[in-house]
Amino acid sequence: MPRLPFACLLLALAFLGQAARADLPSPALLWEARFPWPIHWIVTSEGGITLIGSDHGSTLQAHDALRGTRLWRRGLRAGLWTPPALRGNRLFLSPHDQSLLSLRVETGEFLWRLGPRFPEGSPRLPGVSPPLNRAAPVPLTEEIATVSLDGQVSVLSSSGAILRQVDLQPGRFHPDGFWANPVALDGILYAGTTHGNLWRVPLQTLDGARKLTLEAPAGRNLGQASLEVRAPLVASSNRILVATMDGTLRGFEPRPLRLIPSWTTALGPPGVYQATGHGRALAGPVLAPEETRVYVALRDLVVALSPDKGEVVWERPLDERAQTPPACWRDLLLVGLETARLLILDRSTGEPRESLELPGPPTAGPEVWGDLVTLGFADGTIRCYDLSAWARASNNPAAIRIPR
Question: How far lies 22's CA from each of 89, 91, 269, 344, 375, in Å?
Answer: 43, 43, 35, 15, 25
Task: Determine the 3-state secondary structure of 397 from DSSP.
Answer: coil
The pLDDT, as a whole number, for residue 223 is: 83
Q: Domain 71-368 belongs to what topology?
A: Methylamine Dehydrogenase; Chain H (2.130.10)
Question: Within the chain, what is the greatest distance between any pair of CA atoms?
Answer: 91
Q: What is the pLDDT of residue 167?
A: 92
Q: Give pTM, 2 decimals.
A: 0.89
* 116 prior amide bond cis, ω within 30: yes
pLDDT of amino acid 78: 85
Sequence spans of domains, the chain: 71-368
Where would I find the H helices in 222-327? Answer: none
Q: How far is 230 from 107, CA to CA, in rounded Å?
A: 31
Structural contact between residues 372 and 387, judged by C-beta atoms closer than 8 angstroms: yes
Residue 22 has a pLDDT of 45
Q: What is d(CA 314, CA 60) in angstroms, rounded to the nearest whole number?
A: 38
3-state helix, strand, coil in the chain (%, to 5): 10, 40, 50
User: Whole-angstrom distance between the N-terminal and C-terminal Cα of the chain?
Assistant: 60
Are 337 and 361 a contacting pair, CB within 8 Å?
Answer: yes
- How many Å apart are CA 149 and CA 129, to the nearest integer? 12
Q: What is the pLDDT of residue 395?
A: 54
pLDDT tens for the chain, 404 residues long, are: 444 454 444 344 343 344 334 445 677 899 999 999 999 999 999 999 999 999 888 999 999 999 999 999 999 888 898 899 999 999 999 988 778 999 999 999 999 999 877 887 666 666 666 667 889 999 999 999 999 988 999 999 999 999 999 999 887 777 889 999 999 999 999 999 999 999 999 999 999 999 999 988 888 888 888 899 999 999 998 999 999 999 999 999 999 889 999 999 999 888 899 998 888 899 999 999 998 999 999 999 999 999 999 999 999 999 999 999 999 999 999 999 999 999 999 999 999 998 899 999 999 999 999 999 999 999 999 999 999 877 665 554 433 333 32
Helix (H) or strand (E) holding 220: none
pLDDT at 127: 60
